[in-house]
Structure 1
Amino acid sequence: MATPLTTTILGAGLMGRLLALALVRAGHTVQVFEAGGPEAEGAAARVAAAMLAPLAESAITETQVVQMGQYGLLRWPELIAQLDAPVFFQQNGTLILWHRQDAAEATRFGHQLTATRQALPSLPAPQALDATAIADLEPSIGTRFAQGLYLPDEGQLDNRQLLAALLLQLQKHGVNMHWHSPRQPEDCQADWVFDCRGLGARGQWPGLRAVRGEVLRLHAPGVDLRRPVRLVHPRYPLYIAPKENNVFVVGATEIESDDMSPISVRSSLELLSAAYSVHPGFGEARILESNTQCRPTLPNNLPAIRQLSAQAPRVLQINGLYRHGFLIAPAMLDAVLELVEKGQSALAVQWNLAIETV
């Protein structure tokens, strides 16, 4: 990569846009082919809550993803600083709450956090909260919850602002964006092809599957939350992520399905009930959107990189980000750039990130 190369990126979701910008800034010629349009309506990144919570996510993922998330939390401010358009970024920590009937599940959750910190002592320690401490952190919640946990330094960003800001920067650099133009790697003529299509790559990556998620976007002028809140739930952890202007993203359903039909009544009721139980002000909220999207997931629920060595041009596939896209995207980006530049990646070794040659 020391000399300028021609590169083609398949997919203009989060990973595709980050990689395209990094490559064009390094002096390479970049073009992007996307099956959808510039609003990223087909990408899981458009629906996501974009929470950057490595310790909180450790309850449902492996240590290596937590490590990549730690790295990503440090890298996001640097990546956002390269953009001309503003992107909401917040690092006020995560608040974990539970109802009394879910105390056993909260205990299990706490044990998992303890185990993660034993493996990764660099993570900030969770802080146990009583009702008064919860009210100090989130006055609008008051003392409705008797116990909770605070995870310092965790963050979030605005996913749609970021996707728009990345596109604006790519256009500024003259990257040729081909919308509504699906392509296969073998269709491309370039020195390097980077396949970031997510579920669009199912025909080329055996075992790649869809996991459906359902998310609500609410406008709640009567609710003032300063940080993301996770409500411990016996079936799945529910989250409320506050964005700017009293907009809240509520979600976290996990369904093994590639069904892209509208959100179910059951999921809607559970998400809305959870939000209302955290803050009664959500009772007067307006439902801006109900969204469904399927996340690209590999059999082990972990991300991976594959190099198709038998093909010319050289093809690198990046996939399996599952529900951790915004959390680990900077780590995946830097591992890919390191791999292409040096033929190997010390970062990938450090995180035990799978790199396959097929």
Structure 2
Amino acid sequence: MKTLPFDAASVLGAGLMGRLMALALARAGCQVALFDAGGPEADGAAARVAAAMLAPLAESAIAPLSVVRMGHHALGRWPALLASLATPVFFQREGTLVLWHRQDAAEATRLARVLERTGAQVPELPAMQRVDAAGIAALEPALGTRFAQGLFLPEEGQLDNRALLTALRVELEALPNVQLHWHAPRAPGDFTPGAHERVIDCRGLGARPQWPALRGVRGEVIRVHAPEVGLTRPTRLVHPRYPLYIAPKPGGVFVIGATEIESSDMSPASVRSTLELLSAAYAVHSGFGEARILEIATQCRPTLPDNLPAFRHPTSRVLQINGLYRHGFMLAPAILDMAMEWLADGRSALAERLGLTTTETPA
């Protein structure tokens, strides 16, 4: 780990990125103060309403190559990050299964072409595999022969987002050089950092007053308890409106989601979205018909005009990190590594190598 040119830091925002940054800075020897407008459970964070899938090839259907490369980097980094925590966090790399109904075959063909093109451009990714009904049944016996064709994306992964947020909080609470300030909103202008201090702003949409280009992209997610459904890996269903996923979590819990609406509306989920998500899950496995709905949640992801993450330096002693969009868990380790390089050296070789070569200059 490189030596940092400062020994104290204030981190604003205790979502996923803020907790990871606070922990990395504290382990690097800094005195860290972490401020958040909400409480310790991260109830207001986009990271709490997520499936936490780590699927760079699958996401290449809508994401540029820089996001794919950052996601591939993160897949290799998550095991070490999780192993450094005292609290266990569910993590798997059993791949992603992509399925479709006959009426959506044309869209599936288009998707397969996109994934093949991504594989050619990013050859370090494990190659996509086409599977027939027998191959699908071998991967997920619970599906039987309901689907005639599918795509299997090896080595993609997922983790338990809420367990991770809790594990990071527990880790921070145990460190003597960390102070946690809940229900204490702060902005960069509230600080006048000295030569040996830094302010790291990770507030997501909370930073919009200082970063007007940020917008919210609404997502709706349903958590169900379905202990009789035996799916073992994230399953995606090709859909004409938006890609749908079913992500199995420990204890028979499944996260069903991926509505994506250009809106900062934080009201409850719509009837249309709820029906589409639950109907899609039932179409994949009839066992979801007897599932119990645990939660229907909405949240807005912080997104910049190009849908890419960005760093900003309003002053030499303030670093702003934002715009992780729908890819927060997939990108967070790469963004963390880049940020630590920026803080140590004033540049990030990793960002340049993975294709995130620009930083925004405040207006």
Q: TM-score range by the shorter chain?
A: over 0.9
Structural mapping, 1:225-264, within 5 Å:
225-264=231-270
Matched, 1:62 2:46: no
Equivalent position SS for 1:145: coil
1:152 aligns with 2:154: yes
Q: Following the alignment from structure 1 to structure 2, what is the Cα–Cα distance between the partners of residues 165 and 74?
A: 19
* 1:175-232 deviation line (CA, Å, top 9, x unaligned): 1111111111010244100000000011111311000000000000110111000000
- Could you list the per-position Cα deviations for residues 49-78 of structure 1 after superposition, in whole angstroms to 9, with x for gaps in the alignment? 000000000001100000000000000000
Query: Residues of 1 paired with 2:212 and 2:186: CA distance?
Result: 18
Q: Is the 8 A contact 1:213 1:294 kept in 2?
A: yes
Unaligned runs of 5+ in 1: none
Paired residues of 2:4 and 2:28 also in contact (CA < 8 A): no
Name the residue aligned to 2:106.
104
AA of the residue aligned to 1:355: T
Residue identity matched to 1:275: A
Q: Which residue of 2 aligns with 1:34?
A: 36
Which residue in the other structure is 1:46 paired with? 48
Q: 2:86 aligned with 1:84, yes or no? A: yes
Cα 1:215–1:323 shift into 2, 3 Å = same
Alignment of 1:193-208 (within 5 A): 193-208=199-214
Taking structure 1 as the reference length, what is the TM-score of the superposition?
0.98
- Matched residue, 2:318: 315
Match of 1:221? 227
1:291 counterpart SS class: strand
Q: Which runs of 5+ in 2 are unaligned?
A: none
Superposed CA deviations along residues 243-290 of structure 1, whole A, max 9, x for unmatched, are 001100000000011111111110010000000000000000000000
1:340 matched to 2:339? The reply is no
Q: Any idea what SS the aligned residue of 1:217 has?
A: strand
TM-score, scaled to structure 2: 0.96
Alignment partner, residue 132 of structure 2: 130
Q: Is 2:188 the partner of 1:185?
A: yes
Residue aligned with 2:141, SS: coil
Task: Name the CA distance, whole Å, in 2 between partners of 1:304 and 1:41.
Answer: 24
Give the fraction of aligned pairs with identical amino acids, expressed as a percent: 66
Q: Matches of 1:76 and 1:233 in 2, distance apart?
A: 30
Please give the secondary structure, in 2, of the residue aligned with 1:143: coil
Alpha-carbon displacement from aligned partner over 1:104-136 (angstroms, at most 9, x marks no partner): 110111011011111111111111011111001
Specify the SS of the correspondent of 1:193. Answer: strand
Deviation at 1:4, TM superposition (A): 5.1
Q: In structure 2, the residue corresponding to 1:215 is in which secondary structure?
A: strand
Give 3-state SS (helix, strand or coil) of 2:142's partner.
coil
The code of the aligned residue for 2:230 comes to D
Partner deviation per Cα, 1:16-51 (whole Å, 9 max, x = no partner): 000000000010000011001111011010010000
How far the C-alpha of 1:357 sits from its partner, in A, is 4.1
Q: Distance in 1 between matches of 2:45 and 2:303?
A: 14
Secondary structure of 1:203's counterpart equals coil
Amino acid paired to 1:23: L
Structure 1 stretches (4+) deviating beyond 2 angstroms?
1-4
Please state how far the C-alpha of 1:351 moved relative to its aligned partner.
Answer: 1.9
Corresponding position: 1:356 with 2:337: no
State the distance in 1 between where 2:251 and 2:346 align.
45
2:144 alignment partner in structure 1: 142
CA distance in 1, matches of 2:353, 2:4: 24
Deviations 1:305-353 (A, max 9, x none): 01112x7xx1100000000000000000000000110111101111221
Residue matched to 2:331: 328
1:266 aligned onto 2:272: yes
What amino acid maps onto 1:73 in structure 2? L
CA distance in 2, matches of 1:207, 1:345: 23
| Whole-angstrom CA distance in 1 between matches of 2:348 and 2:235 | 35
SS across alignment from 2:222? strand
> 1:293 is matched with which residue?
299
Q: How much has 1:94 moved relative to structure 2?
A: 0.3
Contact 2:311 2:321 in 1 (8 A): yes
The answer on whether the counterparts of 1:4 and 1:29 sit within 8 Å (CA) in structure 2 is no
Amino acid across the alignment from 2:255 = V
Q: CA RMSD in A?
A: 1.0
Q: Secondary structure at the match of 2:221?
A: strand
Indicate the larger mover: 62-71 or 173-182.
Answer: 173-182
Q: Distance in 2 between matches of 1:272 and 1:301?
A: 28
1:343, 1:212 → 2: CA distance? 34
C-alpha contact 1:4 1:27 (8 A) present in aligned 2 = no
User: For the residues of structure 1 that align with 2:159 and 2:192, how far apart are their CA atoms?
Assistant: 35
